[in-house]
Amino acid sequence: MSLRYKGDGGASSAGLDTLLTLVAHYAPHWVAIELDIPFSALIHLDSHAENFASLKKLVLTCGSAFYGGSREVARAFSRAPKLRDVHIVSGVSATSLARPWHQLVTLRLDNSTPTQCLAALALVPNLVNFTSTLWDSWIAPTPILHLPRLESLRLILCHARGPALLTYLTLPALHHLELDLPDPPHIDNLAQLIVRSTCFLRRLSVKLGPLGTADDVLRLLEAIDSLEELEIRKGGPSIDTAFRLLKAQPRLLPNLKLLHVERTMTGAEDAELIADLLEGRWNLNAPAGVSLPVRLESFRLHSPLTTPPELDSDAVLRLARLQVEGMSIQITSSSSSWLPRRR
């Protein structure tokens, strides 16, 4: 059983009475709960802390998108023995909730600040998956946090300095990272995290800003050399620079199996460059005697504002040959596919 409840007023409303009645009768059976109630109403559930014996997932919204700083602590879910997954949408900070933090595996914080994120992460030493939407840039001085089990980190950034949060983390088990890199200085934040953590990042989903020079792109590729999967969201001209570097320097991302790119540019894609890159990564015929350990198995390019090449051009025919040989290729421009989809 699960509960999805949206309140209709404050702590003294008839809606709260209904919620308390439901909790009293059914709380021991609920596996998932989604509440949208004021924080003052949440406090009223404290007397039922013993009742949530089956609860595994909690989604909590407490009004305003920004936490108002109440000093009260809600204890309703502090004794839920099976609680593993918590999503705080708004109106309350993690530190104002008493719960079995040590047993949490997944935590998501929306409408949060970097300081609130770090305060929450300090409570969850066994966390495996963390997602946060950051709305501010200021970070209070804090020691570096060591989270030995964190494998997946997603930072949805609504402020340009969001990647600075990485400076305060050590994540030795990290293998999946999703974040924005709005400008070149933040490449260093990512590189330092990987070096400090000695982690082997396998999957990166990144939204690239104008990274500038080829040296900036090279620093990024060198920092993530253990990658097997790379997804670039809304990349600009720096994508061509990355393609050229990957073609010319096979030592970069030698284990890459999947490359998916979403492009935001107008004009035309360099079809010859793409064909050269994919042939080199498929046939493993790297120049300068360098042997690649794996093939690039999957390539996606979504470039909706560009003009597709002629379907009988040499580059497209070469790509079609790779597709027949087994590489998964999907390239679209102006809503048209360069190649037929294979079944």
Would you list the domain boundaries of the chain?
A: 1-104
Taking 70 as the threshold, does the pLDDT of residue 305 lie above it?
yes
pLDDT confidence of residue 113: 83
Which of 32-36, 155-159, 258-262 is predicted least confidently?
Answer: 155-159
pLDDT confidence of residue 70: 57
pTM over 0.75: yes
**How far is residue 64's CA from residue 84's CA, in Å, rounded to a whole number?**
25
Mean per-residue pLDDT over the chain, rounded: 86
User: What pLDDT, in 10s, does the model give residues 186-209?
Assistant: 788 888 999 999 999 999 998 877
The string of DSSP letters for 59-76 reads EEE-SSSS-------B-T
Phi, psi of 266 (to 5 degrees): -115, 165
Strands 336-337, 306-307: pairing kind: unpaired
Q: Note whether 70 and 97 are within 8 A (CB).
A: no
Spell out the residues 6+ positions from residue 69 whose beta carbon is closer than 8 angstroms to its own: none
pLDDT confidence of residue 66: 46
Q: How confident is the model over 235-241, as a mean pLDDT?
A: 81
